[in-house]
């Protein structure tokens, strides 16, 4: 996975990207159809979006949906693996934490 969005006017392959917008913790983030939610967040410079019970920050680890490090709440559904979930225009992503006393 690349954390960089290639602008259509500089893409050597000549794709015709269709833009989309997802909202992450209340902030609109641009992406393109075909990206996973994890790549939309990575392209925005976010490398972590979950806090483990130990306090460690988590994001993409394996990138293929095996490890569950990249989970977040998507459209009200908790524990969605963002590396496996294709981004859809209008998706709402809420970061998660498993710290004691935190309701997210």
Domain boundaries, the chain: 19-97
64-86 mean pLDDT = 91
Res 1 pLDDT > 60? no
Q: What is the mean pLDDT of the chain?
A: 85
List the strands of the sheet with 92-94, edge to edge.
27-32, 19-24, 92-94, 71-74, 77-81
Per the DSSP assignment, residues forming a β-bridge with 73 are 94
Look at the domain 19-97 and name its fold: Ubiquitin-like (UB roll) (3.10.20)
pTM over 0.75: yes
10-34 pLDDT tens trace: 777 776 778 999 999 999 999 999 8
């Amino acid at each position: 996975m690349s954390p960089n969005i290639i602008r259509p006017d500089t893409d050597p392959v000549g794709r015709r990207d269709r833009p989309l917008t997802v909202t992450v913790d209340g902030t609109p983030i641009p992406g393109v159809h075909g990206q996973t939610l994890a790549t939309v967040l990575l392209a925005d410079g976010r490398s972590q979006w979950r806090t483990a019970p130990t306090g460690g920050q988590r994001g993409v680890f394996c990138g293929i949906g095996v490890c569950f490090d990249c989970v977040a709440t998507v459209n009200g559904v908790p524990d969605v693996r963002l590396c496996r979930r294709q981004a859809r225009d209008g998706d709402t992503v809420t970061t998660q934490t498993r710290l004691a006393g935190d309701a997210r």
